[in-house]
Amino acid sequence: MSHSSSIQYAQLAGVTLAYRRLGSGEEVVFIHGMAASHGFWHLNVLLPLARRFRVTLYDQRGHGSSSLPPSGYTTAELAEDLRQLLDALEVPRAHLVGHSLGGAVALHLAAQHPNRVASVVVADTRVRALQPVQRPSDWPHWGSVKARLAELGLELSDDVNDWGMHLFEQLASSLVAREKLRGTSLFIPFSRLAGGRRSAERWLELLNTTSARRDLVDVAGLTADKLARVACPVLAIYGERSTTLPSQAALSALLPDCRRVTVPGAGHFFPISCPDLFVREVCAFVESHAQTAAAARVVVPVVEAAAVAGPSLASKRRAES
C-alpha cells in the first residue's frame, strides 16, 4: 500500500473504500459520520495531528468516493469494513477517532476485535442501545432551531425519532436551504469541502437505492452488554448543546475506562467549529495511550499538505475518469 497522502483505493470483500494516509507515528484512523466523507476532517484538524501521528482517513461504504453496495450499512458491517481496511494497510492496531456514526463504528470494532483497537475517541455519537430515543422536543434549544428551519421551508415533527437522518434528507433535497445555511453548522455535511452538491446527491442515492435507511438505525448487536466489553481507553467528547449528551453519560457509567469532556457552547459539529480544542484533546488522549515508547515525530512536507488541501475525493475522481 502507498504511504503518500494521495487518494488510494482498497478493494475489500464486497466494497471499495477510498482513503488517504499522511504523517508518521502512532496509527490513528478517522471515521466520519452519516452523509459526510473524509472531507469532513478539515486541514486545521488534520495537519496538527499528522505532525504527531500516522493518520488514515477514509470514506465509509456508500459515502464520498467509496463504492455504493446495495446493503451492508449497519455499524457491525461498517466495523467489518474498517477491520478489512486495517488488514489491507497492514495496520495491526490503531487508535480510532469517530464522529457521530463513526464513533459507533469505532466502538463496534473495539467490542468485536479488542486486539485491533488501542483507544477510541467518541465525538458526539448517539449510541442507540444507550439512547434509543432522540426526539427534537427533548432538546432545550429546539424551539429556536425549529423556527429557523421553518424559515427555510424545512419541517421536523417534535416527536420524530432519528431526526438527524430526516433533516439531512431534507437538506440534501433543497439547494435553496443549503445555500441559506452556508456558514452554519447544519450546512457542514454538504459544504464545498465535503463534496457539495455531489455529496447531497450521494446521500439521497444511498437512502433511496440501498438498505442504508434501515441499516443505519439498527442497533446491530451493539448492546449495552457488548459495549461493556470495550476494555480500551475511551474519550467521550460531546458538545454542550448536543442532543446526544445522554449517550455520553451512559458510556461514562458503563465503560471501565472512559473519560468525559464536554465542549462549552458547542453543538454536534464541534470538531469543525472548535478545531483547536478538539485537536488538543485528541492529541493528549492518544499520546497518553501510545503503544510505542517514542513514536516518530515528523512535520508534514509542504507538498503533502498541498495534496491534502487539493481537490476533494469526488472532484479528483471526476478528474481521473
pLDDT reading at 190 higher than 50: yes
CB 128 within 8 A of CB 74: no
Q: Which amino acid type is present at position 242?
A: S
pLDDT at position 147, please? 86
pLDDT at position 310, please? 40
The residue count of the chain comes to 321
Strand partners, 94: 117
pLDDT higher at 151 or 191? 151
Kindly report, residue by residue over 267-290, the tens digit of the pLDDT: 899 998 899 999 999 999 999 998
What gap in Å lies between CA 64 and CA 46, rounded to an integer? 18
pLDDT at position 317, please? 37
pLDDT reading at 298 higher than 60: no
What gap in Å lies between CA 288 and CA 137, rounded to an integer? 39
Q: Show the cell assigned to 294.
A: 517514542
Kindly report, residue by residue over 163-174, the tens digit of the pLDDT: 888 888 888 887
pLDDT reading at 295 higher than 50: no
pLDDT reading at 29 higher than 80: yes
Give the domain ranges of the chain.
8-132+216-320
pLDDT reading at 101 higher than 90: yes
Q: Which amino acid type is present at position 252?
A: S
3-state secondary structure of 233: coil
Q: Show the cell assigned to 109.
A: 470494532
pLDDT reading at 303 higher than 70: no
pLDDT at position 164, please? 82
pLDDT higher at 231 or 184? 231
Q: Show the cell assigned to 38.
A: 473524509
What gap in Å lies between CA 269 and CA 174, rounded to an integer? 21
Indicate the pLDDT class of residue 314, thresholds 50, 70 and 90: very low
Pairing mode of beta strands 117-123, 258-263: unpaired
Instruction: State the average pLDDT over residues 123-151.
Output: 88
What's the chain's Rg over C-alpha atoms? Answer: 18
What gap in Å lies between CA 293 and CA 55, rounded to an integer? 18
CA angle 105, 110, 111 (to 5 degrees): 100
Instruction: State the average pLDDT over residues 131-135.
Output: 91
Q: Show the cell assigned to 287.
A: 499520546
Indicate the pLDDT class of residue 186, thresholds 50, 70 and 90: low
pLDDT at position 180, please? 62
Instruction: State the average pLDDT over residues 152-167.
Output: 82
Percent of the chain with pLDDT strictly greater than 90: 63
Distances (CA, A) of 217 to 49, 154, 249: 31, 22, 21
pLDDT higher at 184 or 307? 184
Strands annotated E in 133-177: none
Indicate the pLDDT class of residue 250, thresholds 50, 70 and 90: very high
Give the chain's mean pLDDT.
Answer: 85
Kindly report, residue by residue over 212-240, the tens digit of the pLDDT: 999 999 999 999 999 999 999 999 999 99
3-state SS, one letter per residue, for 256-319: CCEEEEEECCCCCCHHHHCHHHHHHHHHHHHHHCCCCCCCCCCCCCHHHHHHHHCCCHHHHHHH
Helices (H) and strands (E) in the chain, counts: 14, 8
What gap in Å lies between CA 229 and CA 255, rounded to an integer? 8
What gap in Å lies between CA 124 and CA 188, rounded to an integer? 15
The fold adopted by the segment(s) 8-132+216-320 is: Rossmann fold (3.40.50)
Question: Cβ atoms within 10 A of the Cβ of 89, count?
Answer: 21
Burial environment of residue 265 by CB neighbours within 10 A (0 to 12, 13 to 18, 19 or more): exposed
Q: Look at 50-54, 135-139, 220-224, 274-278 and tell me which has the smallest mean pLDDT.
A: 135-139
Most confident of 13-27, 37-51, 175-189: 13-27
Helix residue ranges, H only, 53-141: 75-88, 101-112
